[in-house]
Amino acid sequence: MRVSLKEKLSLDFVTTVKAIGWILVMGWLGTAPAHAQLRIEIVDGVEGATPVAVVPFVWAASQQAPATGVADVVAANLARTGLFEAIPRSQLIERPTEPQDVGFGAWRLVGADYLIMGRVVDAPDGPGLEIEYHLVDVNAETAVLSQALPVRPGGLRFGAHRVSDAIYEALMGVPGAFATRIAYVVVQDSGTDDEVFELIVADADGFNPQAVVRNSEPIMSPAWSPDGRQIAYVSFATGRSNIIVQDLYTGQNRVVSSSRGINGAPAFSPDGRFLAVSLSRGGSPDIWLIDLETNDRRQLTRHWSINTEPVWSKDGEVIYFTSDRAGRPQIYSIGRDGAGLARLTFEGEYNSRASVGLDDRFLALVHSPGNNDFRIGIYDRETERLRVLSDGRMDESPSFAPNGSMILYARRDNGRGELAAVSADGRVRQRLVNSEGDVREPAWSPLLR
């Protein structure tokens, strides 16, 4: 049974819960955005960003070419990192599609360090397309990378993100995070009788925003499953907090926790089997583990204080969480078996809502030195130093990119929520501008393969 879009966006929670079978991802490329799209602006880039020329790809496929080509997407992706500078199209002196066609002397005059080129052809077998692309080092006069990437029908834009990932990895030595998605909550008509909370999933560059759930009651705390197929979130649709797990592809969802009190802060384990959550069924919020296969639940912390915002270590053995057991909120860690409780942060009056970086060395968190300002900090577990990365007064909800390069977070500007991102070294800053609504609680997906 396929449910219509109108029903899909119904405010009726029961309909939403029961709607089985609608397809969220109807070809991630090509569907008109149903919502205002985020536009990413660079606030601060890196001094001496690497100049890159991205030549428009030749369209040699039988179907019609899209308005936005592969080269446009790749150039925008690289420029958005602040580490690269895309040479304007008007300065592209020739249009090679293969490394042997490149006149290196002329490209050196233009100032390009690297050249990206290619073409789009029909897939040699079956439906879909293939993107052939080359990354050329202009100074060394060599091809750094030459590959062909098969693309599913309707998946050209996502294919362009994967090309960007491969190029980024070839140049930076770490994988890119372009072929990923972000989830966030937007509140429309905030503060009015028409107030509506929406859980949105969009491509990492803000394109293709799709509403996953819509409700007049609050939606909170979206968290991705490790395979990027499911999102866990907190819904107040019944008038109380519930934890829901929703499949993005089938639309199926189920309530995994609705006990008395708070059901909050879901976080998938790295193997996707468990959900760490915060439940106050025992009187105050404690960390619990829910086995998503058996529905067994086990209590990890037992303390009268607030224990919430659990996140998993990369190996799934340790859980980092926020607790105010010492008076004010600080980050603690505990083994998944409930043993080995330790306090991690001591600097400042307020540290909460940790997000784990590429490995467990870096934790992004909400930090306040005690002056009423809340900023995004990064805590280095090796040096035990905390560094403030953002400059707002009401910054929150940090979420690491799956490659550890950027931290997405929420800030407030003139009473309205918007998203921003900062590189883990603090040098690159982006604003994700939304034309409407109050945007909050971003969550960056894992790498999607």
Partner 1 sequence: MNTGLRFIATVALALVVAACARDVRDEPVAPSAPADGGISQTDRIDARDFSDARNLENPDSILSQRVIYFEFDRSDVRAQFRPIIEAHAAYMDANPSARVSLESHADERGSREYNLGLGERRGSAVRQLLSAGGASSGQMEVVSYGEERPVCRESNNECWQRNRRVEIVYTAR
Length of the chain (residues): 449
How is 84-107 classified by DSSP, letter by letter?
EEEPPGGG-----SSGGG--HHHH
In the complex with partner 1, which residue's Cβ is closer, 152 or 325? 325
Question: Which of 221, 390, 434, 445 touches partner 1 by CB under 8 A?
Answer: 221
- Among residue numbers 386 through 405, which ones bind partner 1 (CB under 8 A)? 393-394, 396-397
- Smallest gap from residue 373 Cβ to partner 1 (A): 9
In the complex with partner 1, which residue's Cβ is closer, 58 or 212? 212
Contacts of 82 (CB under 8 A, 6+ apart): 42, 44, 45, 46, 49, 423, 427, 428, 429, 430
Question: Which range of residues in 45-53, 55-63, 348-356, 380-388 is near partner 1 by CB under 8 A?
Answer: 348-356
Both tokens assigned to 433:
């501008």
Q: What DSSP element (H or E) covers 77?
A: helix 70-80
CA atoms in the 13 A half-sphere facing the CB of 195: 10
In the complex with partner 1, which residue's Cβ is closer, 82 or 348? 348
- Smallest gap from residue 262 Cβ to partner 1 (A): 6
Cβ(395)–Cβ(385) below 8 Å: no
CA distance 272 to 195: 33
CA distance 308 to 346: 18
53 to each of 56, 83, 91, 250, how far by Cα in Å?
A: 10, 14, 9, 40
Strand partners, 44: 429
- Smallest gap from residue 419 Cβ to partner 1 (A): 15
Handedness of CA 12, 16, 17, 18 (dihedral sign): positive
Query: Using the rule CB under 8 A, is 366 a contact of partner 1?
Result: yes
Query: Using the rule CB under 8 A, is 283 a contact of partner 1?
Result: yes
Both tokens assigned to 308:
């919430």
How is 388-419 classified by DSSP, letter by letter?
E----SB-EEEEE-TTSSEEEEEEEETTEEEE
Question: Which of 352, 405, 430, 445 touches partner 1 by CB under 8 A?
Answer: 352
- Smallest gap from residue 220 Cβ to partner 1 (A): 6
In the complex with partner 1, which residue's Cβ is closer, 105 or 415? 415
Question: Which range of residues in 14-22, 76-84, 280-288, 426-434 is near partner 1 by CB under 8 A?
Answer: 280-288
CA distance 326 to 51: 50
- Smallest gap from residue 308 Cβ to partner 1 (A): 5
In the complex with partner 1, which residue's Cβ is closer, 359 or 436? 436
First to last CA, the chain: 28
DSSP-based three-state secondary structure for 60: strand
Query: Using the rule CB under 8 A, is 371 a contact of partner 1?
Result: no
Query: Using the rule CB under 8 A, is 325 a contact of partner 1?
Result: no
Question: How many of the chain's residues bind partner 1 (CB under 8 A)?
Answer: 41
- Smallest gap from residue 236 Cβ to partner 1 (A): 7
Query: Using the rule CB under 8 A, is 324 a contact of partner 1?
Result: yes
Smallest CA-to-CA distance from 135 within 149, 114, 165, 156 is with 114
In the complex with partner 1, which residue's Cβ is closer, 105 or 283? 283
* Interaction mask 242-261, partner 1, x per CB under 8 A: -------------------x
Cβ(445)–Cβ(402) below 8 Å: yes
DSSP-based three-state secondary structure for 376: strand
* Interaction mask 43-72, partner 1, x per CB under 8 A: ------------------------------
DSSP-based three-state secondary structure for 211: strand
In the complex with partner 1, which residue's Cβ is closer, 98 or 324? 324
- Smallest gap from residue 257 Cβ to partner 1 (A): 14
- Among residue numbers 284 through 323, which ones bind partner 1 (CB under 8 A)? 284-285, 306-309, 322
DSSP-based three-state secondary structure for 78: helix
In the complex with partner 1, which residue's Cβ is closer, 133 or 224? 224
CA distance 46 to 128: 38
* Interaction mask 178-217, partner 1, x per CB under 8 A: ------------xx--------------------------
- Among residue numbers 327 through 346, which ones bind partner 1 (CB under 8 A)? 328-329
CA distance 385 to 351: 13
Interface residues with partner 1 (CB under 8 A)?
A: 190-191, 218, 220-221, 236, 239-241, 261-262, 264-265, 278, 280, 283-285, 306-309, 322, 324, 328-329, 350, 352-353, 366, 368, 372, 374, 393-394, 396-397, 412, 415, 440-441
